[in-house]
Amino acid sequence: MDDRVRIVAARLEEARRTGKKVPRLTDDVRPRDEREAALVRDAVMRLRKSRHVGWKVTLSPAGEVIASPILSDGLLTSPARISRLQPASLGIETELAFRMKRPFPVAGETITAQSTLD
């Protein structure tokens, strides 16, 4: 694994564990592109010994689809009790989740509004 990826992943995991903020990343370690950012994400998952249980999906300002996993060790279901919040995580993010009846999309399927609803 690239040292850049390892350094950033370790800093992020330490921040999660201790509640301390991550210092601004310098140009020599900051991920250079989406591929490196994904490598950092995967390294953090390994450090946390977590797996993905769902996906967060959004559009970037440029209209590109960005997806990131929802990790098993950070998932709370309703009703949930939070015993203590780390200082760096004094926020709650709400996600809408959907269970799909089948794999989506099926290979070669054209995605339409109706096929999405189905």
- Condensed to tens digits (0 to 9), the pLDDT of residues 76-107 reads 777 877 766 555 555 666 767 777 777 767 77
Q: How far is 118 from 95, CA to CA, in rounded Å?
A: 21
Residues 72 and 50: beta-carbon distance below 8 Å: yes
Return mean pLDDT, the chain. Answer: 80
**pTM of the predicted protein model:** 0.62
Residues 6 and 31: beta-carbon distance below 8 Å: no
Concatenated DSSP letters of 40-77:
HHHHHHHHHT--EEEEEEEE-TTS-EEEEEEEGGG---
Residues 40 and 19: beta-carbon distance below 8 Å: no
- Two tokens at 61? 């300002």
Residue ranges of the chain with pLDDT lower than 50?
none
